[in-house]
Amino acid sequence: MNRQGQKMIRWLAVALVMSLASLSVQGREAAAVADIPTEKPLPTGTEIFERCGYKFPGSDQRSIFTVMIKDRHGRIKKSVYTRLWKDFKGRDGIDDKMMLFTTYPPEAKGAAFLRVAYGAEKERKVDQWIYLPALRKIRRVSIRDPGDSFLNSNLTYADVGRRSINEDSHRLISVRETKGMSFYVVESIPKEKKPQYGKRIFWFKKTPQWKDCVNTRIEYYNQQGDLIKDQFIKWQQVGNAWVWDRVLVQSHAKRTASVFILSQVYIDSGIDSKLFNVRTLQRGLAAVPPVPVRHQPASAKENPAVKRPIVKRKEQKQE
């Protein structure tokens, strides 16, 4: 495995240790994680969710999407995709569309994936297609259950989809401090009769300004109240948009973990909505126009051979 792959594996190991250490202090009167006094009145759980839970993602995104999956035996599988995403803003009932073009591993190169997500008012499941170059065929992939695994990871299709704020009841249960940072801890209980989870608990970073508040952790519980998995999120700000930097998801029941990394991120580069169709899957990346020069960093404009974008990450101020 190359140096970058080894670096990702080391990060995964460190992240797992940190997450386990964080979990070990929950429910105890420890200095590492403790409820702290705060100003009155406190914002409601719904207000926190409105301000922090829905960050502006841009109108479209182009990035390199790396997925690493660690099974219960410690084996790690790595996949790398070129990812295109576009917000359709509810046009024709469509929330957004996403395409993935596989670039690694070599034996899967050329495989492509298209997902179309619909608004809640459509009451329609996600549509998906996959192109298999070995068979030279496009196949429609049906999702029988929103709880099915996304890319064989610890996240489900429901986890990566949009969920309306009105689909859950949100309650601020505490304001906590850990490692010098403060968090709003919000409990969200689904309103539907047969939900995928009994509840989720979100940790929103408490910042001087609401615009910098982000969701850093999600705890998923089953109907019996048992913690089944954790999701830890590190964000990056590109322009005025917020996107994932890297995400760790750890399943306690399966003893598996998944890491998602977004790099070389371009926001609002003008991706044509007409690209998002099954014909593009078969044609591959050759059908995708390059990033316009005005969206490239200065180094790429001066030297066309330099294609890697420079993404400036905005450091969040801590209280």
Q: Can you identify the CATH homologous superfamily of domain 3-288?
A: Lipoprotein localisation LolA/LolB/LppX (2.50.20.10)
- Flag whether pLDDT at 128 surpasses 70: yes
β-pair partners for 50: none
CA distances from 24 to 17, 27, 185 (A): 11, 8, 17
Contact 34, 176 (CB under 8 A): yes
Distance CA 234, CA 214 (A): 9
- Amino acid letter at 314? K
Using CB atoms within 10 Å of the CB of residue 195, give its burial: 0 to 12 exposed, 13 to 18 middle, 19+ buried: middle
24 CA to centre of own chain: 25
What is the arithmetic mean of pLDDT over 108-136? 88
* Count of C-beta atoms within a 10 Å radius of residue 259: 25
- The sign of the torsion formed by the CA atoms of 251, 252, 257, 262 equals positive
Question: For position 162, what pLDDT does the model report?
Answer: 82
Tens of pLDDT along 34-49? 565 555 689 999 999 9
Using 50, 70 and 90 to split pLDDT, how confident is the model at 295? low
Left (φ > 0), alpha (ψ -120 to 50) or beta: where does 139 sit? beta
What is the Cα–Cα distance from 98 to 85, expressed in whole angstroms?
A: 4
242 SS3 class: strand
Predicted confidence (pLDDT) per residue in 308-318, tens digit: 444 444 444 44
Given a cut of 90, whether residue 302 has pLDDT beyond it is no
Query: What local confidence, expressed as pLDDT, does residue 305 receive?
Result: 38
Alpha carbon distances (Å) from 109 to 82, 98, 103, 105, 285: 11, 18, 5, 6, 11
Count of beta carbons in the 10 Å neighbourhood of residue 223: 11
> H-helix or E-strand containing 259?
strand 256-267
pLDDT of residue 265: 96
And the tokens for 27?
């429910």
- Mean pLDDT in the chain? 84
SS3 275: helix
- On whether the pTM is more than 0.85, the answer is no
> Which range, of 35-44, 97-106, 183-192, averages the lowest pLDDT?
35-44
Task: Tell me the C-alpha distance between 125 and 142, whole Å.
Answer: 9
Under 8 Å between Cβ of 266 and 63: yes
Report how many helices (DSSP H) and strands (DSSP E) the chain contains, helices first: 5, 14
Q: What percent of the chain has pLDDT over 70?
A: 78
Report pLDDT digits (tens) over 221-274.
Answer: 999 999 999 999 999 999 999 999 999 999 998 999 999 999 999 999 999 999
| Model confidence at 24: pLDDT above 70 | no
Span of 45-54, 57-66, 141-150, 171-180 with lowest mean pLDDT: 141-150
End-to-end CA distance of the chain: 40
The domain limits of the chain are 3-288
Q: What pLDDT does 53 receive?
A: 93
Taking residues 160-164, report their average pLDDT: 86
Rounded CA-CA distance 262/218 in Å is: 19
- DSSP, collapsed to helix, strand or coil, labels residue 72 as coil
Q: Are the C-beta atoms of 48 and 170 separated by less than 8 Å?
A: yes
